[in-house]
Amino acid sequence: CRVMAWDTEGTRRRLKEAATAEFAERGLAGTTMTRIAARAGINKERLYSYYGDKDALWVVVLTDELEGLALAVELAGVSLEDVGEFAGATFDYHVRHPQLGRLLQWEGLVRGPAADVARRSAHYREKVERFAQAQRDGVLDAGLDPAHLVFALIALAAWWQTVPQLAEMITGASGDDVSERDRRRAFVVDAARRLTAAR
């Protein structure tokens, strides 16, 4: 008698992908573990055994999405010497992962404590400090609050995907159009450079 080995990693991946899609579509409150398991085609008990309850799974999904963004920007080799390309790499990630903006919007609508708040806050504080150091080094405009600057650059890069209907109403073009997407990215890069240029 041969025993089939479970593809544990594949199962975890399918469950997390299903959870990401469900949470992005319905938010934490509107998603059920039953829907996630059904979407993944996997037994609900296995979902609970791998990830615990829905709140724990929400934290895993959001944390993984944000870690993916940080890694993608880092791997793009972007430094604060070119903050425009930093913003461009952030734009690129949001284009490839539009669910991230939706997840963050759902998190904001809940008005409860943010997922993994201590670790995420530390990550952003480190980023703010890097911007502040670049200001002290004369690389970036020292007249801008570095925390506000980090937030503004994220918004500049991400908002196109977060509210695509608004972007289309204003520009008259769809973000699905490759040439329009290229124009948007070029704008993000140029605007970030102009905003932060040392004076």
Instruction: Quote the pLDDT of residue 8.
Output: 83
Instruction: Quote the pLDDT of residue 9.
Output: 85
* DSSP 3-state of 144: coil
- Mean pLDDT score across all residues of the chain: 89
Instruction: Tell me the C-alpha distance between 113 and 136, whole Å.
Output: 33
**CA nearest to 54, candidates 27, 72, 73:** 27
Long-range contacts at 151-156 (CB < 8 A, ≥ 24 apart): 152/195, 153/83, 153/86, 153/87, 153/90, 153/192, 153/195, 153/196, 154/90, 156/87, 156/188, 156/191, 156/192, 156/195
Going by pLDDT thresholds of 50, 70 and 90, the confidence category of residue 3 is very low
Instruction: Quote the pLDDT of residue 79.
Output: 63
Instruction: Tell me the C-alpha distance between 162 and 147, whole Å.
Output: 21
pTM: 0.86
DSSP assignment, residue 130?
Answer: H
Tens of pLDDT, residue by residue over 66-117, are: 999 888 887 555 566 788 988 999 999 999 999 999 999 999 998 778 888 8
Section 148-161 average pLDDT: 95
How much of the chain exceeds pLDDT 90, in percent? Answer: 65
